[in-house]
Amino acid sequence: MAKTELTSRAALFVIVWACLAVPGAQAELCSELNCMPPHCRCPSTQAPFSLPPGDIPQLVVFSFDGPVTPKYADFYQRLFPVGLVNPNKCSAGVTLFVSNAGEEGRIRTDYASVQKLYRLGYEIGVNSMSMKRPEMFWNDATYEEYVTEMVGQRYLLSLKARIPPSQIRGLRVPYLQPGGNNQFRMMADKNFMYDSSLVTGPVSEDATENQPAVFPYTLDVPPEKYLCDIAPGNCPTDPFPGIWEFPLNRLFSTHGAPCAVADDCQTNSADDTFRYLMKNFLRHYKGQRAPLGLFIRPTWFEKNNYTLAGVDAFLKNMTARKDVWVVTMAQAIEWMKAPKSNSQLLMASKDCNVNPPLLANNATLDIIDLYDPEVTSSTSTTPATTKQGKTTASSPAHGDRHIDSRNRANSEMFYFKLLAFICSLLVYHLIL
């Protein structure tokens, strides 16, 4: 063999190994080789476990962002009265991502209203304490700032609304500006179960036939760019095993304009609002039946009072179907972990899930450098534990679980690289 040819092959071998040795240089694709259900789920446009197409339940998730006021709570209760039920006769579910204050502090959350809605079965998540501007703050925020905003707000919800910290499991970043690894590392360390901030889907309605909606997935493998499709897009680049993402699949107005948040699509009447929502529902319902997320800011109902009537008509039309379930985001993720067909759901126990009791009035929260933002300007926060023997987000027992998962992921990556190195050696010797 010529010396130059041998040198070229050796150089090629060194380059291949160098690429494998540099963290992040290889684009690891998610598959069942590195992501095994139920605790890990790859991004997909197909229903999990190959459920029969005609028997897939259509899950619909309504979520509302921002502060909760008595007026907003009244909107929610008018849309989701006790009599609005799923096919199993259990009440429809709703998720609220609550902030302590609205933009520039103009509106403050009424925690008595939050507590009332929690008692009615609403899922309560976190939307930050401040909804701080500029919007790019959230894109660039440090790990410590995410702890302050998200763990601090969870603490306030537990302190003032008496909601058990263990029941506050999800978050959405204000203005849909994800904070990359800082945000998701905070979530893993502080025991948040899921995020719902990443926008995906085509910007042209014509492309939806070839690019259907994405089902919820885990971040055991960093998401590809199309799953985090909003400028500037500070997407996580590290793996975060066990953290779920409920994606914001784009919606389209009656005129075909795209929007990630339902109230960003313009409507001009109650009927137009109904037709807009029904059009997006039917695209999911007649397609692969990925969960339909309708993410709404309550100011939509203030600015255009006809929208409330349009959403109400949509809810009544949709819930008349025996294979449509209006659920919380946490319930949708639990279904992803253990998918059941619509027939199986109908045959399951009729016992309706209810929220756990509130924290007792005499139950205290340990505060270690964790502050109430309304009485101090400190920026240092640490999570808390309850006095009743139940650990919350701050407990090492929870943190260790995520650390162990991350260490396991790193270990698996090391063995993957080692195997690739051995294969490279074998290929090199075969060439010789």
339 with 413, same domain: the answer is no
Q: In terms of C-beta distances under 8 Å and separation of at least 24 residues, what long-range contacts does 13-16 make, across chains too?
A: 13/424, 13/428, 16/424
342 with 403, same domain: the answer is no
Single out the residue of 171, 135, 180 nearest to residue 152, CA to CA.
171
Q: 380 in a domain, yes or no? A: no
Note the pLDDT of residue 256. 95
Which positions of the chain have pLDDT values less than 70? 1-28, 349, 366-421, 423-432
User: Helices in 265-305 by DSSP H: which ranges?
Assistant: 270-285, 299-303
Q: 238 in a domain, yes or no? A: yes
Q: 332 in a domain, yes or no? A: yes
In this structure, the strands spanning 240-245 and 217-219 are antiparallel
107 with 218, same domain: the answer is yes
Cβ neighbours, 10 Å, residue 283: 20
301 with 401, same domain: the answer is no
194 with 252, same domain: the answer is yes
Distance of alpha carbon 342 from alpha carbon 98, whole angstroms: 31
280, 312, 347 — which closes off a domain? 347
> How many distinct structural domains can be found in the chain?
2
The one-character DSSP state at 369 is S
Q: 151 in a domain, yes or no? A: yes
Distance of alpha carbon 146 from alpha carbon 158, whole angstroms: 18
Largest CA distance in the chain: 83
318 with 412, same domain: the answer is no
Residues with Cβ within 8 Å of 25's Cβ and at least 6 positions away in sequence, in order, are 19
- What CATH number has the domain bearing residue 66? 3.20.20.370
Single out the residue of 403, 411, 398, 412 nearest to residue 193, CA to CA.
398
111 with 236, same domain: the answer is yes
195 with 307, same domain: the answer is yes
288, 318, 347 — which closes off a domain? 347
Distance of alpha carbon 319 from alpha carbon 91, whole angstroms: 11
202 with 277, same domain: the answer is yes
Q: 47 in a domain, yes or no? A: no
Distance of alpha carbon 22 from alpha carbon 57, whole angstroms: 43
Domain of 413 in residue numbering reads as: 395-432
Q: 82 in a domain, yes or no? A: yes
The two three-digit tokens of residue 432, written as one number: 């010789």
Burial class (CB in 10 A: 0-12, 13-18, 19+), 170: buried
Distance of alpha carbon 197 from alpha carbon 40, whole angstroms: 19
Q: 376 in a domain, yes or no? A: no
298 with 408, same domain: the answer is no
317, 347, 377 — which closes off a domain? 347
In three-state secondary structure terms, 352 is coil
Q: 224 in a domain, yes or no? A: yes
Residues with Cβ within 8 Å of 360's Cβ and at least 6 positions away in sequence, in order, are 162, 388
148 with 57, same domain: the answer is yes
Distance of alpha carbon 215 from alpha carbon 104, whole angstroms: 34
